[in-house]
Amino acid sequence: MAWIDRTVVLRQDDQGIYYTALYRPTQTGEYNNDCNLNTTYSLLRAYFVLDVSLASLYQDWSERDPVFSSKVSSGEWDGLRVVRQDGWETMISFICSANNNIPRISLMLSRLCAAFGNPMPRPPLGVTLPSKFGCQNVEAYDSSSPLLELYSFPPPVRLSQADVIEKLKLLGFGYRASYVHKTSIKLCEIALEARKDNHWPGFPNLDCRSTFKEDEQKPDLLKPKSFEPQEFLDFLASQTYELAHSNLVNQFPGVGPKVGDCICLFGLGFVHVVPVDIHIYKIALRDYQLDLSPSKKSTSPARPSAKNKKQAVADQQSSSRRSAPSSKISPNKKPALAKQVPSNHTPVKKRKSSNPTSPPPPLSRPNYLKIQDFFHSTWGPWAGWAQQILFLADLSKAPS
């Protein structure tokens, strides 16, 4: 995979995961830095969120929710985790996802990178990844396939230029071309204003270039340096979900409430967020019999309190200290999460019965929030990860 300034080649076997990084011939400084500080290892740990114990999360979700437990009991989805993608790449990817399907989204993003990105090092014949015991080498190149062309993801400055919108239309982006172009321009304008005022627009009382706790765990390559356009998204990741989501929806063309939730979950690390698309909507009605019928007296629960991903991690750690586990937890696993539903949530009613011929209720904004709150109260502070597992399980059974 291409990652910022390098190409990372990965191989997995039953012993572990092996990797190597490829650099351009001119990148001797980056290469030496990687050799001395293991920057690729740090990048991979952050990208795959390897400090989180999946076993503890799966156990907690299964104990909270019998539906989830039944869907993962086969073990088919063991090991599935939500990766922490680059915020900028995530934003553009989900702007392209509107009224679209996954194969076409992937094709559009590949064309975007090829047209506006820079060529990245690609694995040539002979690049090998040693096994754990060093007794064999496995080629990272499949000789039966053509060499894969890799390109960097273009930055906002490049996608804000005048030639972009027409080229994107020729590449099949349609009306999304305007959203990509205008969002890139807006992000560059925010950065320009921040450099002039020495703070991000709308946040005058914060030292926006200070290092947040999360940044202490980031490799130097990912830490904020100056008011670059992409860094505004890193800054939003350090704020509350409500602030981050509001800024995304209100400032960037093509970012509505659902796309904003996707950016928050996959690009900014707000692990409690449950984006509700047609698949999650169907799961809520079919598997949980959620009652979305209108009523005079609202039965929707209170919205969760402002909680970002740092607080979710703290919840995971503090709740495990409050509960006495029935068995010893392996030292390399985090303790299980608390099983109780947060006290500020009122369970949403389930449907008593349904007429199979009657149309389902619409996915309106109130119903969107009701579904979101239901799953948050059901799955807890890491609800966003749980929904992704059920999303993929449901997608795999859908007719192609």
pLDDT tens track for 307-319: 455 555 555 544 4
Domain span(s) for CATH 1.10.1670.10 in the chain? 54-82+276-318+342-397
Name the residue with higher pLDDT: 138 or 365: 365
pLDDT of 127 > 70? The answer is no
Q: What is the pLDDT of residues 289-332, one digit of tens each?
A: 998 887 655 444 445 444 455 555 555 544 443 333 333 333 33
Mean pLDDT of 71-89: 91
H/E stretch holding 182:
helix 176-197
Residue 23 pLDDT grade (very low, low, confident, very high; cuts 50, 70, 90) = very high
H/E stretch holding 40:
helix 39-47
DSSP state of 18: E
pLDDT of 337 > 50? The answer is no
Sorted by sequence, the CB contacts under 8 Å of residue 53 that are 6+ apart come out as 332, 333, 334
Select from 158, 157, 85 the least CA-distant residue to 115. 158
Q: Mean pLDDT in the chain? A: 80
What superfamily does domain 85-117+152-269 belong to in CATH?
Hypothetical protein; domain 2 (1.10.340.30)
Select from 318, 288, 268 the least CA-distant residue to 86. 268
Domain span(s) for CATH 1.10.340.30 in the chain? 85-117+152-269
How is domain 54-82+276-318+342-397 classified at the CATH fold level?
Endonuclease Iii, domain 2 (1.10.1670)
Residue 221 pLDDT grade (very low, low, confident, very high; cuts 50, 70, 90) = very low
pLDDT of 113 > 60? The answer is yes
CA dihedral 189, 191, 196, 198 (to 10 degrees): 150
Q: Tokens 């191989």 appear where?
A: 11
pLDDT of 97 > 50? The answer is yes
pLDDT for 128: 55
| Residue 152 contacts residue 2 (beta carbons within 8 Å) | yes
Name the residue with higher pLDDT: 396 or 158: 158
HEC secondary structure over 117-168: CCECCCCCCCCEEECCCCCCEEECCCCCCCCCCCECCCCHHHHCCCCHHHHH
pLDDT of 379 > 80? The answer is yes
- Phi and psi angles of residue 128, each rounded to the nearest 5 degrees, phi first: -125, 155
Rounded CA-CA distance 12/18 in Å is 6
pLDDT for 184: 98
Reported pTM: 0.78
pLDDT of 134 > 70? The answer is no
- Phi and psi angles of residue 296, each rounded to the nearest 5 degrees, phi first: -65, -40
